[in-house]
Chains A and B, each alone.
Chain A
Amino acid sequence: MKQLYKYLFLILIVASFSSCRKWLDLQPQDGITKAEFWKTKEDVKAALTGIYSSLNAGDVEERIFLWGELRGDMVVPTSYAADDYRLVKNMNILSTNDISDWSALYVVINNCNLLIDFAKDAKALDPTFTDELYNAYLGEALTIRSLMYFYLVRTFRDIPLKLNGSYKDTDVKPTPQSTPEAVISQLISDLTKAQVLVPDFHVGGLGGNIAINPVNTGRVTKPAVTALLADVYLWNEQYDKAGAETDKILATGRYQLLGNSNVSIFNGSTSETIFEISHKDSRVNPLYGFAADTRKPFAANNMLVNTDIFTPNTEGDLEAVDTRGEGYMFNTSGAIYKFGFENPSYYNFQVYRLPEIMLIKADAANETGNGGAALSILNILRTARGALQATQRDVDSTDVDGINRFISEERARELSFEGKRWFDLLRLAKKNNYSNLDVLVDVVSKTVDVAVQQSAINKINNLNSHYLPISETELFKDTALKQNPFYSK
């Protein structure tokens, strides 16, 4: 009996010495079970769904809206907005400002990276995984990754370009920033690759008729890749290439303008939609609460938008209205209807629509010496939307700068509140070695508080200030990151 107790205790003691090691668990504690995944084409499909799911989770669209609109002139923070956003409006940004949080986009990027890295493992194991399907998945992941990087590079300029997935702690390594040139050239090469991989459409296509289908607009198709590539070329001032890409989309003949603007375009999946972030039967559109609900933190800057963007007619037809202006796309109290009318809103978020492709083409035509073509494209769009006489710019077809500004104004009207305004202003300003910096000075002098107006004008003249600071949290986590010099003082 006594012996038994002794042995029992001995065993207990021996066991207890190793109590803090889980020696029975052979799985890595810090990773997903990669060995169990990436075995069949269904696994890869699930990973792809995961990418789209991280895209419509809400945070990505909020970032796109904040980065694209808050520093522009068409949106104002209301009394419900956090102080950080008011400081952004006043060009008073520290690296601790929430505006610099880029994590949502890097989450999507990592999901894409994992698929790009490991889909080939499944391909090798699953004989039913066709080349066609594999290519489509790979191309979609490449395109979405490029879309995320395109927003990041335009917002932060020098960003870490991470092209490999992280699935365990040791994969997280300090990543120094790449130059914007390197990022853009990576995007161009990825998108050119994806163009070959991604199919023209996912659903339909019988007899050459491509059905307008939520799957074809909510998932990346070849026109979606092409649209993004055209946009990247435009940003990179490669106008002939941008023009060539838009021609590819227009040549498909599957998209058409819907005439007068109408909120149903923003509900989604219309003949104008090339790519959208879908919310149908899924999660709600986060921007409804952001800019449309009663207690919204952001609202349309009615006073400026009504006078500068949608200037009312003072002669001619005084009753005429632009269907993209107040009462149509936003109301008198600044609620933006592009994100829906009711709570919860399942409106899709429009990333690329046909009008934007037309405007990119106009931009490219103008810059390549074909101002006449640019003006006639503008005319088609303006006629369809019922643009007002007062917003017509009488410019000569040889007046490159005049047409540039006309296009920029038209983009403001057509793509209002879609997270594109600031990037348009910045692109116009930085054209030809910052020859139009006055555009940004003008915006700042109109939108910044009186008390800091002169400071803000002085700041915007510093080119580094056009890009946001790297967040303090990221700098702390990754010692390889270098702060934008404008914010390091």
Chain B
Amino acid sequence: MKKISCLSVSFALLSVLLVGSIFSCKKNIYKQTTSDEVNITGYLEQHADTYSLLLEALEKVKASGYLGAYGTYTLFAPTNDAVKKWMAENGKTSISEFQDADLMQFVKYHIVRDTVGSLRFTDGKIKSPTLFGEYLYTDVQNGSFRINKAATITQSNIACGNGIIHAINNVLIPPKYSLAEIIEKDTRFSIFAQALKETGFYDTLYFERGEEISDEKRFQTVIVESDSVLNSAGIANYDQLKSKYSQTGDPKNHTDSLWLYMAYHISNGGSYLEDIASSSSIYTLAPKEIISTKLSGTKVLLNDDVFNGVYEPGAEIDRANSDVTAINGVLHQSKNNFRIKVRVQVPVYFDVASSPELVLALGSTYRNTSKALVSNSKPIANSIGFENLNVVTIGTNMYRYYSGLTTKRPYANGDLLDLSMCTNNAGRVKYVDFKTPYLVKGKYKVWVCYAQNGNGSGMQVTYNPDKTDEQVLPNIVFFSQTLSSSGVSNLADPNADNLMLAQGYKRYFATAGDYNANGVTGGILAKTGDGSLNVGRLAGVINVETTDRHTIRIQAVSDVRCASNSIYLDMIQFIPADDPEQIYPRFHQIPGELFYRPQ
């Protein structure tokens, strides 16, 4: 018994030795932390030789605490050299000589409460404001990113635990003046400045930090015309400007044209050229008046439009002298004179298959062959939108062109949009949006012109969907209906047009007996039979509040039989509601051939 226990003791000892020896050659060094990454303050402390002065300032205003804790920040960190330069400019020799309030402003202007890496820099403002409440502007010069056109980033995207640091070679100083003061101080803007004062807009553009002001008016954009621009437009001084525009004699009156002229140069919100060029219009302070904008090559053009088929050359922005940041917004300069265009309401016969954007996108396909409207999951023209772009049948939505002069289902200009739309099928497009041509403000009757297909869905038409001025039109347009659905039994009756009109139907395609100045006779429809397949249907009346390009949505709300390519959409006509002529002119396959009431 004793022997056995002795054996078992030595057995156990040996076992321990054996087990221990197996692990003998591994060193166990365990990492105590989850990350070596420091926070922003930690980084500055590690690089004290470069950032000691900044750190001192941060500590003095107690910002180093939150920059060392959790959060998402972007710090534009001026190096010691930059801070020294700034101190010298202010006649100080150390950080401690500054007032706490000044340092607070300095620190707040260098911090954005968001992580903004250089990948998010554009030719405009950083989309989140600084803690100071104003925006920073970024651009590129000599291959380096620049902030506020004053400081160059010397090292970007330093990743820290709670944000990003960009080292800069100059301290960022908030702008000193408001828009009103900048314009007033610049001798090149003397006429414009005087007009601002006379119309009262000087006060609109004047702002001092700390003033109470509504959010939408905190930042503004003004496009200035210099004296030389006005001179070349034939205006030598303020008096001439006043006599040219001020019809009431009181420029402060909101119906006075000089007041409107100045209002037309100002808009709410701080928009840099990048913002202006990416949107298609600027909403100005002149009620319901917009400036259309576009980018042509690298030029930003204002009011450069084709209106009613006539090209109107616009005013070019002077890029070099624009994007000037003020306390309360941005100042741009125009190279040419521009003003509100007085427009009268005109009918707009919108051939959806021949919109300028689509024609450009179609290139050689236009009036030549068919082409899918969506390619690479994107509409080929930005004037057309689909809901949604990922359905399997998206590729069947086509631009189509027929060159022959047929009398069964012809199309204006020979082309149409051949769409596959249904409401109750996940595989099909639900609605399609069109950007309209310019519509001068006023009321319009909206006529949807299509060729009938027995499987065509019922479509609801919406003006400016999802906008504040959204208007859903009352009549559902059934693309399966012929003109007979108007209830008029004898379509050949001389009075049939008027009877149909009363029911909200019309012929939009040339039929026998219509007058054409060039005597075109090919492809003319009969009044009955095939002639009843091209239908104009009144969707309703819209009230256009702003002269601009708007959106029209056509949405499937009922299906006959969900079939592919059963929507033959040809035109959408906007005819002024008080225009007695809603029926003529009628259209034809040959572009430009219009048919009028028989004389």
Give me the interface of A with B, judged by CB distance under 8 Å.
2, 5-6, 9, 12-13, 16-17, 19-20, 76, 78-80, 87, 92, 94, 296, 299, 302-303, 306-307, 312, 326, 332-334, 445, 450-459, 461-462, 464-465, 486, 488-489
Pair B364/A453 contact, Cβ less than 8 Å: no
The 8 A CB mask of B457-499 against A (1 = contact, 0 = none) is 0000000000000000000000000000000000000000000
- Residues of chain A lying within 8 A (CB to CB) of residue B157: 94
Q: How far does the Cβ of A298 sit from chain B's closest Cβ, in whole Å?
A: 9
Q: Are B375 and A17 in contact (CB under 8 A)?
A: no
**B142 at interface, CB cutoff 8 A:** yes
Q: Are B376 and A79 in contact (CB under 8 A)?
A: yes
Which single residue of chain A is at the shortest CB-CB distance from B141?
A458
Quick check: B141 and A303 within 8 Å, CB to CB? no
B121 contacts which chain A residues (CB < 8 A)? 452, 455
Q: How many residues of B contact A (CB 8 A)?
A: 51
Contact B298 A299 (CB under 8 A): no
- Establish whether residues B363 and A307, one from each chain, have CB atoms under 8 Å apart when the complex forms: yes
The distance in angstroms between the C-alpha atoms of A18 and B375, with both chains bound, is 66
Shortest C-beta distance, B477 to chain A (Å), equals 30
Q: Is the CB of A486 within 8 A of B372?
A: no
* Minimal Cβ-Cβ distance residue in B for A321: B364
Q: Which residues of B (3-27) have their CB < 8 Å from a CB of A?
A: 7, 10-11, 14, 17-18, 21-22, 24-26
Complex-state Cα separation, A169 to B583, whole angstroms: 85
Q: Which of A6, A94, A296, A303 touches B119 (beta carbons < 8 Å)?
A: A94
Select which of B26, B153, B297, B319 is within 8 A of A489 by beta carbon: B153
Q: Which of A19, A87, A332, A461 has the most CB of B within 10 A?
A: A332
The chain B residue with its CB closest to the CB of A313 is: B364
CA distance A2 to B142 in the complex (A): 87
A312 touching B363 by the CB < 8 A rule?
Answer: yes
Q: Which residues of chain A come closer than 8 Å to B255, judged between CB atoms? A: none
With A and B bound together, what is the CA distance between A236 and B543 in angstroms? Answer: 66
Q: Are B297 and A464 in contact (CB under 8 A)?
A: no
Please give, as numbers and ranges, the residues of chain A lying within 8 Å of B377 by CB-CB distance: 78-80
Q: Which residues of B contact A459 (CB under 8 A)?
A: 140, 143
B278:A451 contact, CB within 8 angstroms? yes
Q: Which residues does chain B contribute within 8 Å of A94, judged by CB atoms? A: 117-119, 157
State in angstroms the CA–CA spacing of A80 and B377 once bound together: 9
Given A451-B124, A489-B156, A13-B376 contact (CB < 8 Å): no
* B361 contacts partner chain A, Cβ-Cβ < 8 Å: yes
Chain A, Cβ-Cβ closest to B25: A20
> How far, in whole Å, are A8 and B350 apart by their CA atoms in the complex?
99
Complex: how many Å from CA A333 to CA B22?
65
Is there contact, CB below 8 Å, between A302 and B143? Answer: no
Q: Which 5 residue pairs are nearest across A and B when measured between Cβ atoms?
A: A462-B143, A333-B375, A458-B140, A455-B140, A78-B376
In the bound complex, CA of A20 to CA of B23 (Å): 9
For the complex, is B123 an interface residue (Cβ under 8 Å from A)?
A: yes
A94, B156: Cα distance in complex, Å: 10
Contacts of B365 in A (CB 8 A): 332
| A489 & B144 in contact (Cβ 8 Å cutoff) | yes
Residues of A within 8 A of B18 (CB): 9, 12-13, 16
B21 close to A17 (CB less than 8 A) = yes
Smallest distance from the beta carbon of B158 to chain A beta carbons, Å?
11
Q: Does B277 contact A (CB under 8 A)?
A: yes
- In angstroms, Cα B119 to Cα A76, docked, is 19
Quick check: B298 and A303 within 8 Å, CB to CB? no
Can you list 28 A-B pairs with a CB-CB distance of less than 8 A? A5-B11, A13-B18, A16-B22, A19-B21, A19-B25, A76-B376, A94-B117, A94-B119, A299-B375, A302-B363, A303-B360, A306-B363, A326-B364, A333-B372, A333-B375, A334-B375, A450-B277, A451-B124, A452-B122, A452-B123, A453-B298, A454-B274, A457-B298, A458-B142, A459-B140, A459-B143, A462-B142, A488-B155
B197 contacts the other chain (CB 8 A)? no
CA distance A360 to B163 in the complex (A): 51
Closest residue on chain B to residue A452 by CB atoms:
B122
A489 adjacent to B154 (CB under 8 Å): yes
**A12-B18, A455-B140 given. 18 additional CB < 8 A pairs?**
A9-B18, A20-B25, A79-B377, A299-B376, A312-B364, A332-B365, A332-B372, A445-B298, A450-B278, A452-B121, A453-B298, A454-B140, A454-B273, A455-B145, A461-B143, A462-B142, A465-B143, A489-B154
Give 1 or 0 for each of B137-179: 1 = CB within 8 Å of chain A CB: 0111111110000000111110000000000000000000000
Cβ B274 vs Cβ A450 within 8 A: yes
Q: In the assembled complex, how far is the CB of residue A148 from the closest CB belonging to chain B, in whole angstroms? A: 29
A489 and B167 CA atoms in complex are apart in Å by: 9
Residue numbers in A under 8 Å from B278 (CB-CB): 450-451
Which residues on B are within 8 Å of A, measured CB to CB?
7, 10-11, 14, 17-18, 21-22, 24-26, 117-119, 121-124, 138-145, 153-157, 273-274, 277-278, 295, 297-298, 319, 360-361, 363-365, 371-372, 375-378, 395
> Once the chains are docked, how many angstroms separate the CA of A236 from the CA of B27?
56
Q: Please, how many angstroms separate the alpha-carbon atoms of A17 and B119 in the complex?
A: 55
Q: Which of B7, B119, B140, B376 contacts A2 (CB 8 A)?
A: B7
Q: Bound state CA distance, A9 and B364, in angstroms? A: 90
Q: Which of B14, B117, B298 contacts A454 (CB 8 A)?
A: B298
CA A464 to CA B142, docked complex, whole Å? 11
CB atoms of B298 and A13 under 8 A apart? no
Minimum Cβ distance to chain A for residue B37 (Å):
15
The docked-state distance in angstroms from the alpha carbon of A457 to that of B18 is 71
By the criterion CB–CB under 8 Å, are B274 and A451 in contact?
Answer: yes
Q: How far is the CB of A307 from chain B (nearest CB, A)?
A: 6
Chain A residues with CB under 8 Å of B24's CB are 17
Which partner residue on chain B sits nearest A306 by CB separation? B363
Min CB distance B358 to A, Å, is 12
Instruction: Determine the distance from Cα of A87 to Cα of B122 in the docked complex, in whole angstroms.
Output: 12
Q: A17 to B26, alpha carbons, bound, how many Å? A: 11
**Roughly how many angstroms separate A281 CA and B16 CA in the complex, as a whole number?**
61
B395 to chain A, nearest CB (A): 8
The reply to whether B295 and A13 form a contact with Cβ atoms under 8 Å apart is no
Q: Is the CB of B378 within 8 A of A486?
A: no
Which residues from A are CB-within-8-Å of B25? 19-20
| Contact between chains at B17 and A13 (CB < 8 Å) | yes
Residue of A nearest to B323 (CB): A454
- Which residues on A sit within 8 Å (CB–CB) of B21? 13, 16-17, 19
Residues of A within 8 A of B364 (CB): 306, 312, 326
Taking CB atoms, residues of chain B closer than 8 Å to A462 are: 142-143
On chain A, the residues within 8 Å of B295 by CB distance are 450, 453
Docked pose: A312 CA to B25 CA in angstroms:
76
Contacts of B122 in A (CB 8 A): 451-452, 455
Question: Which residues on B sit within 8 Å (CB–CB) of A19?
Answer: 21-22, 25
Chain B residues lying within 8 Å of A12, measured Cβ to Cβ, are: 18
For residue B7, which residue of chain A has the nearest CB? A2
A473 to B144, CA, bound (A): 23
* List of B residues within 8 angstroms of A2 by Cβ: 7
Given A9-B14, A13-B17, A16-B18, A445:B123 Cβ within 8 A: no
In the complex, chain A residues whose CB is within 8 Å of the CB of B144: 489
Q: Which residue of A lies closest to B278 (CB)?
A: A450
Closest Cβ of chain A to B28, distance in Å, is 14
Q: With A13-B17, A303-B363, A332-B365 in contact, is A464–B375 under 8 Å at CB?
A: no
Given A445-B298, A451-B123, A458-B375 contact (CB < 8 Å) = no
Give the docked Cα–Cα distance between A312 and B363 (Å): 9
Cα distance, A296 to B116, chains bound together (Å): 30
Query: CA of A80 to CA of B25 in the docked complex: distance in angstroms?
Result: 51
CB distance from B81 to the nearest CB of A (A): 16
Task: Look across to chain A and name the residue whose beta carbon is closest to the beta carbon of B153.
Answer: A489
- Distance (whole angstroms) from the CB of A68 to the closest CB of chain B: 20
Nearest CB on B from A138, distance (A): 43
**Most chain A CB atoms below 10 A, which of B18, B25, B144, B375:** B375
